[in-house]
Amino acid sequence: MISKKMTALLNDQLNFEMHSAYVYLGMVAYASSLGLNGIAGWFRIQVKEELEHAGKFFEYIQKQGGDVELKGIEAGKVEFASAASLFEESMKHEKKVTKRILDLTDAAKKEDDYSTDSFLLWFLNEQVEEEAQITDILQKLAIGGKTGNSLLILDGILGQRK
């Protein structure tokens, strides 16, 4: 069983993961509005992943005897400076997620909550993967340019993500 403090922290993260899905859903809307269906599809997968992450927190809280608390979800924006800026914003958001997971890990360690510490390890590894993916995309945009043909080529590449 986890402490009330840890339950509250995990609930905050559960709700932040739901917000993250909204953030990416806004990016889907923007990319779709530009006709960049490959990029929109890439972000649709991000939405699905964030919802899965929220589900993992939901299940863990319940398995540990905690009460799930669902809160209002802050909407994501649907207007951006450019298609390339979607990935810059995505990286900022993922760095925020990483910081939050690290803070949760620190809190679990302070409480000698080894179960939660172990649970959070999956998310730390996931964040390494998330940031690496976006870094790769940002590097491609830096090399090829953030508009024109290179953006269309990137759209095609990202559309292959399953």
Per residue in 23-42, pLDDT tens?
Answer: 999 999 999 999 999 999 99
**Domain coordinates in residue numbering, the chain:** 4-158
Give which of 123, 134, 125 is closest to 27, Cα–Cα: 134
Helix (H, G, I), strand (E, B) or coil at 66: coil
Please choose, from the candidates 5, 14, 1, 4, the residue with its C-alpha nearest in 3D space to the C-alpha of residue 120: 14
> What's the first-to-final CA gap in the chain, in angstroms?
37
Among residues 13, 4, 15, 2, the alpha carbon closest in space to that of 102 is found at 13
Read off the pTM.
Answer: 0.94
Task: Give yes or no for a contact between 73 and 17, defined as CB atoms under 8 angstroms apart.
Answer: no
Topology of domain 4-158, CATH: Ferritin (1.20.1260)
Residues 126-149: tens digit of each pLDDT:
999 999 999 999 999 999 888 888
User: Would you state the structure tokens that stand for residue 15, as one six-digit string?
Assistant: 């709700």
